[in-house]
Amino acid sequence: GTMERARLQEHLNFIASELHNAFTPLFNNQAAEVEKNAAPDRIARRLDEVEAMLADGRPYLLGESFSVADIYLFVVAGWTKPTNIGLDRWPHLRAHFERIAARPAVQAAMLAEAFQVSGHPELMAQYRDQAITAFRFAQRQQRQHDAL
C-alpha cells in the first residue's frame, strides 16, 4: 500500500481505539463511577492530539483528501455535545467538524436520521436518495483507499 493508505489506517485505528473508546464509560450505565469521572479528561487528552494534527491548517485528516476517517471523526466528535464536553477548547477540530457538517450528503443523512429517531419515518423517505448517495460516496472513498 501507499503512505496515504497507511495514514488512513493510522487515523481510523486512533479514532477507534483511543477516541471512541474514551467515550465508552459515558455511554455505559454499568461503568464504574471512577471510570465515568475520568472519561472527560481522557477524552480531552485524545482531542488535544487531534487538535495538534489539524493545527497545520489541513482541511481533512489526510490533508486535501476527504476520507472515511473524517466521517468517523465527525461522528465521535459529535458525542462531545451530549456529554457536555463541547469543542470550544479545540478550534481546529471544531472547524473540521463544521466543515464535515456543511457537506450536503452529511446534512441529508443527519436529517434522515433525525426524522427516523423523531418518529417521522415518512419524512425520512423524502431524504432517502440523498442519504443513500452519502453512504455510497463513503463506500467509494473507502474502496479508493483500499485500492492504494
Written as tens digits, the pLDDT of the chain (148 aa) is 799 999 999 999 999 999 999 999 999 999 999 999 999 999 999 999 999 999 999 999 999 999 999 999 999 999 999 899 999 999 999 999 999 988 888 887 777 776 665 565 555 555 555 556 666 666 676 677 667 6
Determine how many CB atoms are found less than 10 A away from the CB of residue 119.
8
Q: Which three cell numbers stand for residue 121?
A: 419515518
First to last CA, the chain: 5
- Report the distance separating Cα 114 and Cα 120, nearest Å: 8
Cβ-contact 148, 2 below 8 angstroms: yes
Confidence (pTM): 0.79
